[in-house]
Chain A
Amino acid sequence: MAGEVTLVDLVKRFGDVAAVDGINLEMPSGEFFSMLGPSGCGKTTTLRMIAGFEQPTEGRILLDGNDMAYTPPHKRNVNTVFQSYALFPHLNVADNVAFGLKRQKVGKHEIRERVAETLELVQLTGFERRKPAQMSGGQQQRVALARALVLKPSVLLLDEPLGALDAKLRKALQIELKALQQQVGITFIYVTHDQEEALTMSDRIAVMADGKVEQVAPPREVYEEPSTVFVADFLGVSNLMDAEAVGGANICRLQLGDFELDATQGKTDARGPVQVTIRPERVHLEPQESTGQNHIPGMVERLVYLGNSVQVIVHLAIGTTIQALVQNVGTEIPWKQGTAVQAHLPADALRVLEDTGAALAPLDEGAVPA
């Protein structure tokens, strides 16, 4: 089946700035592939190069084995769903969807059939005569999808297509998009800065930073087994701590201040200064008097009520502050501001990471357009 995209040593420079700095990616046919990263990481530029709106400075873009890096966009068998939708405001929905078919000189009868078919696919039957401006954001988004899908491209490129929608609609459309992709079976290359979006829909995710790919893996692996500090920090909240790896092989012995901890995840064979990370939901808070391996005493600094859970910010005796997530199970949690606790960081939740030096993402997950 067609629709395999391969990027080979892809570089794009604007002046002195390398927006994309040597990317190698393979996106097999029929995959839902996401490029995830903060704004300025090069994900949109990469997508625009695949679409043909930008020419790479170096490298190759292969579609089913053929280099198309210098093919103009109107001759590529890929279609794009734009962040702003870019629906032609002077054409109604049917004419918008038919635009590409007319360029391919498809017969009138077939155009009508395929437009109707595609509008049904995106559940917009009956909207043929509407102008884009007379539709809601979610409906416009579907028109944009239909306009691209009607051409039966081998690859569909999506540039933050849900970015302009409100949270609830976005969630609903995430599920729909994934279902649609499985239905049509073509390669989706999806660009987003929203980790939840990427985790929900993708078969595989490429986490990008500073024009480079940090990690390519299925959603569960990028989240559970981040290979770099950047990935750990960008996906969800991670507690990052400086440590000294002092020994061990399968179990890495770590020195954090005056405390010795074991870690069984990540680069356990590392030596010297490393970073360790643990997800907030894996941190167990125990009463002050409890003891055991991988326990560090601390003091509750702040409690943040999040609805389904409570975020507890704990200042550890080693000087760093970590977050713990306590599920809301209906009982009041015993910790208050100022309570002395023991933070249990289980060895199988502690991950030793190498630091690639990529700029860490800001902690807030606000909508930052790329």
Chain B
Amino acid sequence: MLEEFFLGILGGTLSGITPALHVNTLATLLHDISKADFNFVFLIYIMGLTHTFLDAIPSTFLGIPEEETSLSVLPAHRLVHQGKGLEVINIAITASTLALIFALPLLPLYLKLAPLYKPEFGKLFVLILSLFLILTERGIKKIHALLIFMLSGALGLMVDALPLKEPYFHIFVGLFGVPALIVGMENRKFEVGEGEIEISRWRILKFSFLGTLLGALASLLPTFTSSQAALMGSFLSKDERSFLTIAFSVNTANYFFSMGNFYLTGRTRNGILALIRESYPILSEREFLILIFGSFCAAALINLYGLSLGRGIGKALTGVDYRKLNISILSAVFMLSFYFDGIFGILTLIAAASVGYTAIELGVKRTNCMGVLMLRILIN
């Protein structure tokens, strides 16, 4: 099992730091070549958890987000341009670790709540969140926010009708990544920084706890995703660092609680758990405890090397001309888009980027672009 633990850490690290390589993709490859036993469950669970700690690295330095990190890409990018890139990575690792620590005592309460879930809750939650998102804009921006919400929502619906294998790559990279890269071309400063977190310990604890609660909620309600939970967090935070703390802790807490939900109800809330259910549908109590223990061991290990890894990657990018870097990344994004889904992928990416960039131009919160998921939930 020790072997699986380290392989999980290695796989999660690889998928975490590689832009556009989702952990589910890697896990699916492993699923096809592995035996369906608990060792495999342990391996891909640790891999998924490690991914939640480290997926901040590409979204921070390169601006290529996944669905879970789509909202953090902008504040993270802002901090990168202030020479605080490594601080973002530090926040990600710290908030993720704290999410695990806070989640443990909350787990018994969560296990009591999980079986009470009804599908209507999720829809209601998304509706409230959508209204909140639009109505918190000021003046005419309420109309602009509604426009962006509807355009994004329409994008989500249109994409359904297209033969896309990786629709979320085109959507989220288009809505959040490409506009950030375009805007970022004007900014030539790229410094990794020292990595010291510049908010008080009390605030990081407070927002990590809040993120843990939101992550728990996201794991309960399937329509309520990590990014939407982070979106809720954006209403409660006033600065980039607080928001990032919430967003990163939501991500890890959601993953951890989803495993608890699966253990108790058999429901799967992410791709990793769906793969686990296929080959190993029921976890025993002992196996559940092993996964919890493994989570803390993985967190401890990632804390040892995560920041150094981030620093290494950041420094490697420091010497590169930022404008050229952004153009290279944009080119890579377009190539990946084409690789995944050909011309349909490119078209979707351009349409999504257009909506994302319009949001910037209209001066509304980019979180309104989450209409891409929310409108579909509300309609269906």
Is chain B found bound to chain A in the same assembly? no
Which of B's residues lie within 8 Å of A, judged by CB? Answer: none
